[in-house]
Structure 1
Amino acid sequence: MKKWFKSLGVAAMAIAITTTGVTAAGAASSLSGKIVINGSSALLPLTLQAANEFKKLNPKVKISASAAGSVTGPQSVRKGIADIGACDWDASMDVPGFKKFDGQVANRVAVIPFAAVVNKNVKVDSLTNKQLADIFSGKITNWKDVGGADADIVVVNRAFGSGTRVNFQLKALNGVDFMTKGSNYKEVKSSGDMKTAVDTTPNAIGYLDLVYVSGSIKALKINDVAPTEANVINGTYKVWGYGYYMTKGQPTGATKAFIDYVQSAKFQNGSLKKLKFIPLSAMK
């Protein structure tokens, strides 16, 4: 896993899973086919792990995965170049900024907590929704105005089409529009790029899903509530969303088997939790 995370900073990454294996019963699976997955970089670690495990059980199935942002998932499914579109919102419905993708089915696969993150030199530990909205819209430009040092804030944003951006804007900023330019504004294409930018830019603030929060970057509390699994489940931390695998109609064949595996209790309560996602069953 550590080797995978080192490569997550690329904007779009195609990965062919070629490991071989057998079923738990010892007999090779007869399931065959090819599954192409595109879309959310937030869901990429989950997709890679699930693909690796699924391939060991079904060595005749080939899986390739890429991550260029949530909107590219359902777009790729619509164009017929992907079987699964990984997306951080239900793309079968209208959401602010995006029309629904007719004919697509949204298959929930995970609960994704998102967090505001800052560079290690930032001395602020908690911000309110209003303070976050004012920072990301450009109204507050110095850390001293929110209890930090006298230093210009560097805002790092995801490019339009990011599902993490959609969720963060709706749930952390209460729908307030982002700033889009300025000398202290940066825009990145993927979750990995966001992590790198915040980690290497003094006084920077950005946002990520929890699976990417590691090393020296710091996740902020929002309204004094930490972005933890427990706080998402108990309802006190509000900045989270469902992750979806979009398909053209109901999934069939190897695609259905793969989605079923990701939704299975074994994966949900095992690898998915280890990656800092939250099982679907926890929110029922």
Structure 2
Amino acid sequence: MAVALLTSSVSSVGAASSLKGKIVVNGSSALLPLTLQAASEFKKLNPKVKISASAAGSVTGPQAVRKGIADIGACDWDASMDVPGFKKFEGQVATPIAVIPFAAIVNKNVNVSSLTNKQLADIFSGKVTNWKDVGGSDADIVVVNRAFGSGTRVNFQIKALLNGEFMSKGSNYKEVKSSGDMKTAVETTPNAIGYIDLVYVTGDKIKALKVNDVAATEANVINGTYKVWSYGYYMTKGQPTGATKAFIDYIKSSKFQNGSLKKLKFIPLSAMKK
């Protein structure tokens, strides 16, 4: 997917202490940690700007922008274009703000460290139901999936499952609404497998699997060996203006991209330039 990478200076934003406005962000739970951190920093520079952020899945972002209830729709795909399962949102502009690595994750009790694309597809479709069939212990696999409308789900299906189908029911199937819910479900369910963006892979109750023996790391995304990643976008109704534009410019600034964004395990846009 062609992506225009834009840069901006912090000075134009940081000096705007008299900037006023209210910004409502809705959409991707994968991007929520980034949005919250950026909002915290931006509000210190611009105390007269109010920012609220919520996350119920990527598709709710551009939907909220279309309805006029959000200024920014956070989305894990370019919603100004058709993607599998979703028509484009007419009149919306997609601004790339980060690169998001995604990972297949398992409960800490699962003694498997790497799966191939085919093994992942077989597990998430329900074709393979026991860990012993992919090199693990004799135990039923519990599949945890994101609800339809999740950008993480869209990207994982395309890039990890190579467009394989998801199972949708069964005694060993669970469905969750957000990245936070996914982490909790896999942490608390023995023999569970799910998927999440890398920022949520913390603690010792879950672990990220290698895909085709390649670890889910920022370095491997950048060097091209790990394929399960996407650009994260902010969707706006037309080109952003005012406080909304200033906030997006701050997120795209080299200070934030190479500072807080990297600390949160996202990847700066500039790292993917060819």
- TM-score range (shorter-chain normalised) is over 0.9
Corresponding residue number in structure 2 for 1:247: 236
The counterpart of 2:210, out of the listed 201, 205, 221, is 221
Superposed counterparts of 1:146-161, under 5 Å: 146-161=134-149
CA distance in 2 between partners of 1:211 and 1:185 (Å): 24
Identity, % of aligned pairs? 88
Shift of 1:24: 11
- Measured after TM superposition, the shift of residue 28 of structure 1 is 7.4
Which of 63, 66, 71 aligns to 1:78? It is 66
State the partner residue of 1:60. Answer: 48
In 2, the alpha carbon distance for the partners of 1:27 and 1:248 equals 26
Q: What's the CA shift for 1:27? A: 7.5
Q: Aligned partners of 1:27 and 1:70: how far apart in 2?
A: 32
Q: 1:100 aligns with which of 88, 93, 99?
A: 88
RMSD of Structure 2 on Structure 1 (CA): 1.4
Q: What is the Cα deviation at residue 25 of structure 1?
A: 12
What is the TM-score with the length of structure 2 in the denominator?
0.94
Q: Return the match for 2:39 from 51, 54, 59.
A: 51
- Aligned residue-pair number: 262
Structure 2 CA distance, aligned partners of 1:132 and 1:258?
A: 38
- Matches of 2:37 and 2:260, distance apart in 1: 7
Structure 2 CA distance for aligned equivalents of residues 26 and 102 of structure 1: 33
Point out which structure has higher relative CO (alpha carbons under 8 A, 6+ apart): 2
Question: What's the CA shift string for 1:35-80, capped at 9, x where partnerless?
Answer: 0000000000000000000000000000000001000000000000
Structure 1 stretches of at least 4 aligned residues deviating more than 4 Å after TM superposition: 23-28
Deviation of 1:104 (Å): 0.2
Among 218, 241, 254, which residue is 1:265 paired with? 254
Structure 2 match to 1:33? 21
Structure 2 SS opposite 1:152 = coil
Gaps of 5+ in 1: 1-22
Provide the residue aligned with 2:220 in structure 1. 231
Unaligned runs of 5+ in 2: 1-10
Instruction: Answer whether contact 2:96 2:231 (CA < 8 A) is retained.
Output: yes
State the alpha-carbon separation in 2 of the partners of residues 27 and 129 from structure 1: 48
